Structure 1
Amino acid sequence: MSITISTAGHVDHGKSTLVEALTGVDPDRFAEEKARGLTIDLGFGSAPLPSGRSVSIIDVPGHERFIRNMLAGVGAVDACLFVVAANEGWMPQSEEHLRILELLGVSHGLIALTKVGLCDADIAELARLEVEERVEDTFLAGAPMVETDVVDDLGVDDLRAGLDDLVDRTPAAADLRRPRLWIDRAFAARGAGTVVTGTLTGGQIRVDDELELRPRGAVVRVRALQSHHSQRTKIGPGNRVAVNLSGVSHQEVVRGDVLVRAGQWHMTNRFDASLTVLSTLDHEVSRRGAHAIYVGACELPARMRILGLEALSPGEAGHVRLHLPQRLPLLPGDRFVLRESGRAETIGGGTVLDIDPVLAASRARPDLSIDRVVAERGWVEAERLALLTGQRREPDVGRWVVSPTVLKGSKARLRAAVDDAGPLGLDIAGLDEKDRAVLSLMEEMATEGGRVRPIGQSDPFENHRYTAALEAAPFTPPDPEAVGVDRSEVRELVKRGVVVEQDGVFFAASTLVAARSAVAEMLADQPDGVTVAEVRERLETTRKYALPLLAWLDGQGATRRRGDVRIAGPRL
């Protein structure tokens, strides 16, 4: 699995220096950045991890004047590396960056406490406590925090290990079979021509694919793909990717343009959304004033109407309708940030709800035929169709009336997605409501345990080889990599309760039952408690595995730690 993360944090807290230490690449590309020691635009790098994987890192500027560039970098990331300097502590852009990440729905992260060599240990500890307090009610609550100082090479290896863990904790990007690449950079490469970069979401792209460049509508062809400095023939969602294109000049491409597959996306310049106003704002938000929306890597002016209210107060949520000057390929569930252009401040953010808001009933067009509307839009809610045309038709799929051509294409796309998923099955959590509705019509598919497989295909997890490997060496369990098992399969085994993870170590569920029984026998003979060494000897294991086993027993209430020993817990 591959994910893309962004840095975040106040200016001059060491984000770029940290990225260079992790990737070997200076993310500050421009002479002005190097001269001023200040990141102005986005930088990119790929960091090798102890597991042998790599993670893509987007380095964003920390200065408040370049917050627009920061927003372009975090629009499609999976997780963040949040940076706070120990010698300065929490600062204004620390707060703004954290709020922006929350508005965009980023839910996983790792904290780096940088520059610890520039202050006393007491100051660093105060900074740590301050950061923990500031993130207490956010997605970073409880996130690992690594102390670093690049000058002394302190903590960089620990940070790599933390990033490895972050990759494991972050859910894989959903493959909807509808690729969408928000472009954040375009340039001409010698001997290759136009190259664009971005973070891929929604689906795979392959060499020789024909795609559309929106909003221009130009048809382009993928000549080559690169990710993590390697040439690829295909790339899936969640990856940073460089795409070599034919059919367009790099001068015709700007940040915020989008690559999509023709016919797969509804392009809209008007949508309804939920909007949450930042609680830290010092004024109400109304339709008045100039607003700018940030979605993906795109920045556009937006006209806003608050539905049912005149204004929203700080911390208040409501429904809004947004009008844009150009059409974008959006989906319900897409996240965005809204800023007030005149004040140059972030006012809030939200979630796209409806990409085709219904016209008022008084504006129904009886002259519009149902077939024409459905043919033009592909999917139309039956109730909306009645409002648009004054005529009624029973829904074909769920609550929608669907064009036969679009329905046929959706079924073919889902069959291909199930085939690509292999024995693991297609994770239904990654599908939107429409795809789930189509699947309910496909009699050749079966859904079990949250995954879709062709009927008759056996469940590959019933007698999985990793479970067998763990049961064969119960108290010295092998890592997934040692058995050649992908971590996505292990996550499924954990989800089913067949395998249990404790402190980064995987055990068969049967092993924990055996460990509980063995420790219970020991405590029956030694009611004053047993040591780690005694448990280690009884189970014929090592401290590496005895500690997480005992931690699991503590968590279950089977044992309780008292000094250097474990005594019987209330649930032994």
Structure 2
Amino acid sequence: MKTCCVVVIGHVDHGKTAIVRALTGIETDRLPEEKKRGLSIVPGYAHASYPSGIVDFIDVPGHEDFIQAMVSGASGARAALLVISATEGFRAQTLEHLEIAAALGIDEVLVAVTKSDLLATAEREDRMAQIRHALTETLLVDVEMIACSALTGEGLESLHSRLEALITQPSQRVAPPDAFLPVDRVFSLAGRGTIVTGTLTGGALASGAQAQLMPPGVPVTLRGLHTRGEERETVQAGERVAVNLRGIAVAQIPRGAVLWSGGDYRPSLCMDVALTRPARGAPTLKHNEQVRVLLGTASTVAQVRLFKTETGGGTYAQLRFQKPIVAFAGQRAVLRRLSPQQTTGGAIVLDPQSTPVRPNDTLRIALLAAVTRQDISGVAANLARAQGGAFSLKQMARLMRRSVEAVQTAFGQRLISLGPGLVTTQGNITDCTFKITTALTSYHIKHPLEVAAPRSVLSGLKVNPELLTHAETVALEIGLIRAHGKRLALSAHDPVSLLTPDQHRRMSELEAMFANAALTPPRQQDLAQDALDRDLMALLLDTGKLWSLPNIALGQTIVCHRDALDAAAAQLRGAFPPPLSFSTSQARSALSTSRRVIVPVLEYFDTQGITLRTNDLREMAPDFAVPPPDAT
């Protein structure tokens, strides 16, 4: 069944409620005060059935004191029926209601000139011409005007015909991918409990389904759905609906709450928006100005932070709220001055879950421009630039007003997963790999005698950590870089080949010193401690010619030549063939060394399975080879 939601707007006392009653047979003024005062205070609801479907009417208050109620009712509408009294013509609230409808993105408008039966033919023609002239200064230059009367029935047939035509027209309103119901009424019924009502946008709601109410962020169950007085199993987007909730009390539901199902809607204190055409005669918004934001059924105060674009204009802004508010990307809002109360224009929510940035943040401005164009490649590129080369699929889906699955389908194989919900592109991986190799190249130039660079050289790269890990893995797999323990180096980097003849000679002298010392190695502090010797010692250790062994008990480290360790293992095997056991003291005597040396040597042999330790005794393993210690 096709439906269309139409908001009935216009100046107070111009006959909105009467024309709805004439069209539907339903009285929308329900409150005693409304009947007593003869004007609408809260939105009223009615519907009319046609062969093509159903039109739901929202009769909103026309008095300027009830603008919030008017916006609340109009926010879910697809079209508007503008009611203008033939006896009074175009008035202040006629214009303001039109401007609010435009700010809310309601472009389809029908004009009903009511009370036409009260004017003579010539007077009626003059009034129609006056109204037409007034409309030329709005967006409704060529709109059809239908003269009608709720009392005589004149023009109602034409109105019915135009209204039915709206049902079959495709909606141009932006909607979220999942069910989103701004709550406009909350009450309870005996035997049923909590009831909320609203105009559904986005996806469908189903009885028995789970949903969330934000705020306060409470999970609820949909006990039942009612629309137009009938119980329903499902309700489609665009319909007025009453939802019976389980899991929450009436007192827990604040004004402006949203019932949603299936999406990623979260309360936020900061939203990025595009400012729409300001209301006629309204003052220009100022940076840091406090305004009232009417968004869905919510009314709250926010600070306007204007972005500084290249043209110096204020096309984009951040709204920073005093309390969390829920919205979806593409949702329309109305902005009003606090004092004097006046509609200043509208806003389109671009990112409902933004973060505060400076007004001259060029990356954010570029992102918002791409979001405005709904340029999926541009949005992805700007998110990646702002977030170190990677971005969240949920964030991308939110900005593009699509589901995560739709975003993945749009990109095909171009998205590469970095972890749950985090993606990048091949171009970003290539850029990150280039940054890694550039950082390593720079380090190798500054420290040519070091075999590898500490991973900390990559910490200065402005790259997402998951992307950095992925790009590093790719670079290792293709042989662009190599790992040296916990350090990294370009595969082409060979510090030995960069030594001068004098450096080669000195390194050979140092190596010979340790080779000749066997298991009585010199202490490092006893060696010449100039910068070159330190670099050459580190190079000997990195290339595996010297090995570093810690003596944990003494808090010391000894350095031995690798041949000395091979010889020591062979010597111990000859002195204590398995399964003959030996003590640390016996091993020290067999190798003619000191306790300072034998303890770290045996502990290293233990860790490598060369010796098998039981309490204070050891025996040699049947087969062994001496591997080098782990490089650091």
TM-score by length of 1: 0.63
1:20–1:26 CA contact under 8 A, matched in 2:
yes
Amino acid in structure 1 at the alignment position of 2:192: A
Q: Show the counterpart of 2:162.
A: 162
Q: How does 1:244-255 map to 2 (within 5 A)?
A: 244-255=244-255
Q: Show the counterpart of 1:47.
A: 48
Amino acid in structure 2 at the alignment position of 1:130: Q
- With over 3 angstroms needed to count, the CA separation of the structure-2 counterparts of 1:2 and 1:253, relative to structure 1, is same
Q: How does 1:384-533 map to 2 (within 5 A)?
A: 384=383, 387=386, 391-393=388-390, 400-402=391-393, 432=402, 436-441=406-411
Q: Show the counterpart of 1:19.
A: 20
Q: Show the counterpart of 1:56.
A: 56
Establish whether residue 8 from structure 1 lines up as the match of residue 9 from structure 2.
yes
Establish whether residue 122 from structure 1 lines up as the match of residue 119 from structure 2.
no
- With over 3 angstroms needed to count, the CA separation of the structure-2 counterparts of 1:402 and 1:431, relative to structure 1, is closer
- With over 3 angstroms needed to count, the CA separation of the structure-2 counterparts of 1:330 and 1:236, relative to structure 1, is same
User: How far apart, in 1, do the equivalents of 2:169 and 2:342 lie?
Assistant: 32
Q: Show the counterpart of 1:334.
A: 331
1:44–1:58 CA contact under 8 A, matched in 2:
yes
User: How far apart, in 2, do the equivalents of 1:353 and 1:432 lie?
Assistant: 13
Establish whether residue 212 from structure 1 lines up as the match of residue 212 from structure 2.
yes
Q: Show the counterpart of 1:33.
A: 34
Amino acid in structure 2 at the alignment position of 1:402: L
Amino acid in structure 2 at the alignment position of 1:89: G
User: How far apart, in 2, do the equivalents of 1:126 and 1:46 lie?
Assistant: 33
CA displacement 1:219-252 (0-9 Å, x = unmatched): 1111111223222111111111111111122233
Q: Show the counterpart of 1:202.
A: 202
Identity of matched residues, % = 30
User: How far apart, in 2, do the equivalents of 1:175 and 1:81 lie?
Assistant: 21
- With over 3 angstroms needed to count, the CA separation of the structure-2 counterparts of 1:302 and 1:385, relative to structure 1, is same
CA displacement 1:272-308 (0-9 Å, x = unmatched): 2121352522533213553110111111111111222
1:19 CA drift (Å): 1.2
CA displacement 1:401-438 (0-9 Å, x = unmatched): 437xx99xx8xxxxxxxxxxxxxxxxxxx964966532
2:179–2:202 CA contact under 8 A, matched in 1:
yes
Establish whether residue 274 from structure 1 lines up as the match of residue 244 from structure 2.
no
SS in 2 for 1:274: strand
User: How far apart, in 2, do the equivalents of 1:175 and 1:302 lie?
Assistant: 23
SS in 1 for 2:238: coil
1:86–1:123 CA contact under 8 A, matched in 2:
no
SS in 2 for 1:84: strand
1:148 CA drift (Å): 1.3
User: How far apart, in 2, do the equivalents of 1:167 and 1:263 lie?
Assistant: 27
1:180 CA drift (Å): 0.4
1:108–1:140 CA contact under 8 A, matched in 2:
no
1:382 CA drift (Å): 6.4
Q: Show the counterpart of 1:545.
A: none
Q: Show the counterpart of 2:144.
A: 144
Q: Show the counterpart of 2:92.
A: 92
- With over 3 angstroms needed to count, the CA separation of the structure-2 counterparts of 1:107 and 1:307, relative to structure 1, is same
Establish whether residue 350 from structure 1 lines up as the match of residue 347 from structure 2.
yes
1:177 CA drift (Å): 4.2
Q: Show the counterpart of 1:189.
A: 189
- With over 3 angstroms needed to count, the CA separation of the structure-2 counterparts of 1:269 and 1:431, relative to structure 1, is closer
1:70 CA drift (Å): 0.7
Amino acid in structure 2 at the alignment position of 1:55: V
Establish whether residue 223 from structure 1 lines up as the match of residue 223 from structure 2.
yes
User: How far apart, in 1, do the equivalents of 2:308 and 2:401 lie?
Assistant: 31
- With over 3 angstroms needed to count, the CA separation of the structure-2 counterparts of 1:279 and 1:53, relative to structure 1, is closer
- With over 3 angstroms needed to count, the CA separation of the structure-2 counterparts of 1:172 and 1:243, relative to structure 1, is farther
1:82–1:110 CA contact under 8 A, matched in 2:
yes
Amino acid in structure 2 at the alignment position of 1:37: G
User: How far apart, in 2, do the equivalents of 1:78 and 1:295 lie?
Assistant: 16
Q: Show the counterpart of 2:320.
A: 323
CA displacement 1:447-501 (0-9 Å, x = unmatched): xxxxxxxxxxxxxxxxxxxxxxxxxxxxxxxxxxxxxxxxxxxxxxxxxxxxxxx
Q: Show the counterpart of 2:521.
A: none
Amino acid in structure 1 at the alignment position of 2:164: D
SS in 1 for 2:329: coil
Amino acid in structure 2 at the alignment position of 1:19: V
1:271 CA drift (Å): 1.5
SS in 2 for 1:38: coil
- With over 3 angstroms needed to count, the CA separation of the structure-2 counterparts of 1:177 and 1:255, relative to structure 1, is same
Q: Show the counterpart of 1:474.
A: none
User: How far apart, in 2, do the equivalents of 1:125 and 1:242 lie?
Assistant: 44
User: How far apart, in 2, do the equivalents of 1:111 and 1:383 lie?
Assistant: 43
- With over 3 angstroms needed to count, the CA separation of the structure-2 counterparts of 1:124 and 1:26, relative to structure 1, is same
User: How far apart, in 2, do the equivalents of 1:138 and 1:350 lie?
Assistant: 18
SS in 1 for 2:255: coil
2:177–2:401 CA contact under 8 A, matched in 1:
no
1:173–1:237 CA contact under 8 A, matched in 2:
no
Establish whether residue 293 from structure 1 lines up as the match of residue 293 from structure 2.
yes
Q: Show the counterpart of 1:507.
A: none
2:52–2:168 CA contact under 8 A, matched in 1:
no
SS in 1 for 2:334: strand
SS in 1 for 2:317: strand
Amino acid in structure 2 at the alignment position of 1:9: G
User: How far apart, in 1, do the equivalents of 2:315 and 2:118 lie?
Assistant: 45
Amino acid in structure 1 at the alignment position of 2:214: R
1:166 CA drift (Å): 2.2
Deviation larger for 318-327 or 274-283? 274-283
- With over 3 angstroms needed to count, the CA separation of the structure-2 counterparts of 1:189 and 1:123, relative to structure 1, is farther
1:126 CA drift (Å): 2.1
1:20 CA drift (Å): 1.5
User: How far apart, in 1, do the equivalents of 2:308 and 2:11 lie?
Assistant: 37
- With over 3 angstroms needed to count, the CA separation of the structure-2 counterparts of 1:161 and 1:189, relative to structure 1, is farther
1:215 CA drift (Å): 1.0
Deviation larger for 40-49 or 434-443? 434-443
Q: Show the counterpart of 2:371.
A: none
Q: Show the counterpart of 1:70.
A: 70
- With over 3 angstroms needed to count, the CA separation of the structure-2 counterparts of 1:292 and 1:251, relative to structure 1, is same
Amino acid in structure 2 at the alignment position of 1:26: E
SS in 2 for 1:29: coil
2:99–2:279 CA contact under 8 A, matched in 1:
no
SS in 2 for 1:152: coil
TM-score by length of 2: 0.57
Q: How does 1:372-383 map to 2 (within 5 A)?
A: 383=382
User: How far apart, in 1, do the equivalents of 2:210 and 2:277 lie?
Assistant: 40
User: How far apart, in 1, do the equivalents of 2:356 and 2:269 lie?
Assistant: 14
CA displacement 1:151-198 (0-9 Å, x = unmatched): 122222322222101223352767754110001111122332221111
User: How far apart, in 2, do the equivalents of 1:386 and 1:358 lie?
Assistant: 16
User: How far apart, in 2, do the equivalents of 1:216 and 1:114 lie?
Assistant: 43
Amino acid in structure 2 at the alignment position of 1:349: G
User: How far apart, in 1, do the equivalents of 2:172 and 2:332 lie?
Assistant: 18
Q: Show the counterpart of 2:109.
A: 109
1:440 CA drift (Å): 2.6
SS in 2 for 1:3: strand
1:269–1:324 CA contact under 8 A, matched in 2:
yes
- With over 3 angstroms needed to count, the CA separation of the structure-2 counterparts of 1:431 and 1:331, relative to structure 1, is closer
2:178–2:260 CA contact under 8 A, matched in 1:
yes
Amino acid in structure 1 at the alignment position of 2:41: I
User: How far apart, in 2, do the equivalents of 1:434 and 1:246 lie?
Assistant: 29
1:69 CA drift (Å): 1.1
User: How far apart, in 2, do the equivalents of 1:123 and 1:99 lie?
Assistant: 28
